[in-house]
Amino acid sequence: MRRLYATAAMILAAASLGFAQAKPGPLPDRIIFDTRMQEDIGLRDAAEGKTDFFFQNITGPTLKALPAEVRAKLDSYAVPESSWSLQLNPFPNKAPYQGKVDGKAVFNPFAIREIRYAINWLVDRKRIVDEVLDGEGGPMFTPMTPGQPGTYKFNLVASKLGMTARGNEKKAIADIEAAMKAAAELPENRGKLAKSGQFWTFEGQPVTIRFMIRVDDPNGRLRVGRYIADQLEKAGIKVERLEWDRAKCFDFLDDDPAKLGWSMYTEGWGAGATRAYWDISVSQMYAPYYGQLPGGNREGFWSFEHKEIDDLAQKCINGQFLDAAEYWKDNLRAVELGLKDSVRINLTYSLSYFTVNKARFNARFPYGLGDGPNRWSTIGADVKPDAKGERTLRTTLFSARGALFMSAWDPVGPGGFSDTYIRAIVDPVTDPANFEAPNSALDTPLNVTWNEKDIVSKVARAADGSLAGEVAIPADAMVYDTASKTWKSLPAGSKSFSKATFTLVPHKWHHGLPVGVEDYLYASAFQREWANEDGKGDKYFDQMYSENIVSQLKSLRALQLNKDGTITSYVDINWPLDKNRVAGQGTPALYTNNGQSKVCVPWEINEALAKLVAEGAKSGAPYSFSDDPNLVEVDCVAPANVADIRAKLEEMAAAKHVPASIKKWVTPEQAVARYRASIKFIDSYKHAYISNGPYYIAAYDPATNYLELKAFRDSYPFKGDYWNKRFQTTLSRIDDVVLPQSAKRDADLLVAAKVSAVVYPLDTASAADGRFKATVTLISPDGVEKSYQAAFTKAGEFAAKIPAKDLAAGKSGAWTVIVETRLGAEAPSVEVRSLILL
Look at residue 306 in the predicted model and tell me its pLDDT. Answer: 97
Any idea which of 46-55, 283-292, 402-411, 618-627 has the lowest mean pLDDT?
A: 402-411
Q: For position 401, what pLDDT does the model report? A: 61
**pLDDT of res. 407:** 83
pLDDT band at residue 16 using 50, 70 and 90 as cut-offs? very low
Task: Tell me the three state secondary structure of residue 586.
Answer: helix
Which one of 3.30.1140, 3.30.460, 1.10.3470, 3.90.76 gives the CATH number of domain 448-589? 3.90.76
Cα distances (angstroms) measured from residue 83 to each of 54, 58, 87, 138, 814: 19, 12, 13, 10, 27
- Whether 4 has a pLDDT exceeding 80, the answer reads no
| Mean pLDDT of the 720-738 span | 94
User: pLDDT digit string (tens) for 110-147?
Assistant: 999 999 999 999 999 999 999 999 999 999 999 998 87
DSSP line for 679-709: HHHHHHHS------SSEEEEEEETTTTEEEE
Tell me the mean pLDDT in the region 559-571: 97
pLDDT at 237: 98
- Residue-range domain boundaries for the chain: 11-80+350-426, 81-275, 448-589, 602-688, 729-837
| pTM assigned to the model | 0.82
Residue 383 is predicted with a pLDDT of 97
**What tens digit of pLDDT does each residue of 68-79 get?**
999 999 999 998
In the predicted model, is pLDDT for residue 2 greater than 80? Answer: no
Residues 143-155 have a mean pLDDT of: 85
- Residue 665 is predicted with a pLDDT of 97
Tell me which CATH code domain 729-837 carries.
Answer: 2.60.40.10
Q: Is residue 828 scored above 90 in pLDDT? A: no
Q: Mean per-residue pLDDT for 622-639?
A: 92
684: pLDDT strictly greater than 60: yes
Q: Is the pLDDT of residue 10 over 70?
A: no
pLDDT given at position 403: 62
Q: Which fold has domain 81-275?
A: Dipeptide-binding Protein; domain 3 (3.10.105)
**Amino acid identity for residue 267 in this structure:** E
pLDDT tier at 400 (50, 70, 90 boundaries)?
low
Which one is predicted more confidently, 147 or 682?
682
Whether the per-residue pLDDT at 1 is higher than 70: the answer is: no
Share the mean pLDDT of the chain.
92
User: How many CB atoms are closer than 10 A to CB 324?
Assistant: 11
pLDDT score at 387: 94
Instruction: Average the pLDDT over 23-34 and give the result.
Output: 95
Give the list of residues 6+ apart from residue 72 with CB closer than 8 angstroms, or none.
none
- Could you tell me which of 1, 16, 132 has the C-alpha nearest to residue 730? 16
Query: What per-residue confidence (pLDDT) applies to 402?
Result: 54
* Cis check: omega of the bond before 761, within 30 degrees of 0: yes
- The predicted pLDDT at position 15 comes to 35
pLDDT at res. 456: 97
pLDDT of residue 488: 97
pLDDT in tens, 695-726: 999 999 888 888 999 999 999 999 999 999 99
| Cα torsion angle, 308, 574, 149, 355, sign | positive
Tell me: cis bond preceding 96? Omega within 30 of 0 counts.
yes
Give CA angle at 769 (766, 770), nearest 5°: 170
Q: Does residue 354 carry a pLDDT above 70?
A: yes
